Amino acid sequence: MTPIFTGVSGILILQWGYTSQLNPSRDRGATPNINEYSWAVNHEQSPAGAAFYISQLECLDSQGLHANWGSGSLLQGLIANLPIKKNDEYSSTGKWHEYTYYYKEMRGQRVVTTPSADEFFKVYATPGWEPFVVFTGSQLQRGIIVGDVWISVWHERL
């Protein structure tokens, strides 16, 4: 059976038979796949939301499919709000640059990180020779929209 994660209020939940926990001590023979993450209806499609979800996917050693709730020209034209369009010209958003950096530059063994106690703040990072980069992201909490992502770069060897 393939495990499927779904996003509920910004938290990834494992649905695998009757269990709701991923038990790393048991070989399940499959890498979890996230059905959909980053809901558009509650402003999770932002750079901060992307960092938050990437950190969860990294911690679960999983892959996921970014939600795209657009329709018509918004479905294909704006690809889940990754680019923006003004006067028939496309531009990259902060989230586009974050995903591009993650895909092209994040290499090596990931750093073990711990979320905040309320699980609304997470980070992901990989050590390297230079630079050492940490992405931090946050989720919605009590109706407050947090839309910033912080990228910290250290140019020292660990």
3-state secondary structure of 43: coil
Looking at residue 46, what is its pLDDT?
77
Confidence of residue 141 (pLDDT cuts 50, 70, 90): low
Looking at residue 39, what is its pLDDT?
66
What does the pLDDT average to over 103-121? 77
Q: What is the pTM of this model?
A: 0.64
pLDDT at 18 over 60: no
Q: Which helix H or strand E contains 47, and what residues bound it? A: helix 47-59
Task: Specify the DSSP class assigned to residue 69.
Answer: -
**Within 10 A of 134 (CB to CB), how many other CB atoms are there?**
18
Q: Is the dihedral of CA 70, 74, 76, 81 positive or negative?
A: negative
Give the torsion through C-alpha atoms of 117, 121, 124, 125, to 10 deg: -90
Looking at residue 129, what is its pLDDT?
55
Q: Which amino acid is at 8?
A: V
- Tell me the two tokens of residue 91: 């531009």
Q: In this predicted model, which residue has the larger pLDDT, 140 or 22? A: 140
Tens digits of residue pLDDT in 35-85: 777 766 666 677 777 888 888 787 777 778 777 776 777 666 777 677 888
As a whole number of angstroms, the longest Cα–Cα distance in the chain is 54
Task: Determine contact, residues 145/40, Cβ cutoff 8 Å.
Answer: no
Q: Which of 54, 16, 22 is nearest to 38 (CA)?
A: 54
Confidence of residue 154 (pLDDT cuts 50, 70, 90): very low
| Residues contacting residue 44 through CB under 8 Å, at least 6 positions apart | 7, 10, 37, 38, 52, 53, 139, 140
